[in-house]
């Protein structure tokens, strides 16, 4: 994706969701299981869009 440098470009990490899935392996009662949680996207800070690297003047 080349959109990262455009102002307000859709975040390519979370695809605009503002959250990313965060699968983890948890051992519950001795059985390893995959638990998928979501957490705020650290790239766009939950907004789903990234600011351009150059702010408008
Ligand atoms: Zn994001």
CA triple 16-17-23, angle to 5 deg: 125
Q: 4 alpha carbon to ligand 1 midpoint, in Å?
A: 11
Q: 35 alpha carbon to ligand 1 midpoint, in Å?
A: 21
Residue 20 contacts residue 13 (beta carbons within 8 Å): yes
Q: Of 24, 23, 25, 17, which is closest to residue 41 (Cα–Cα)?
A: 17
Distance from C-alpha of 3 to C-alpha of 50, rounded to nearest angstrom: 9
For residue 40, the model assigns a pLDDT of: 94
For residue 6, the model assigns a pLDDT of: 52
Q: Of 41, 57, 47, which is closest to residue 8 (Cα–Cα)?
A: 47
Domain ranges of the chain: 3-50
Q: 54 alpha carbon to ligand 1 midpoint, in Å?
A: 18
Q: Tens digits of per-residue pLDDT, 3-52?
A: 555 556 888 889 999 999 999 999 999 999 999 999 999 988 888 988 76
- pLDDT at 2 exceeding the cut of 90: no
Q: 3 alpha carbon to ligand 1 midpoint, in Å?
A: 13
For residue 53, the model assigns a pLDDT of: 58
Q: 28 alpha carbon to ligand 1 midpoint, in Å?
A: 30
């Amino acid at each position: 994706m080349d959109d990262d440098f455009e102002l307000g470009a859709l975040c390519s990490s979370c695809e605009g969701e503002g959250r990313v899935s965060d699968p983890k392996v948890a051992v519950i009662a001795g059985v390893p299981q995959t638990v998928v949680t979501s957490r705020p996207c650290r790239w766009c800070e939950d907004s789903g869009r990234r600011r351009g690297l150059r702010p408008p003047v």
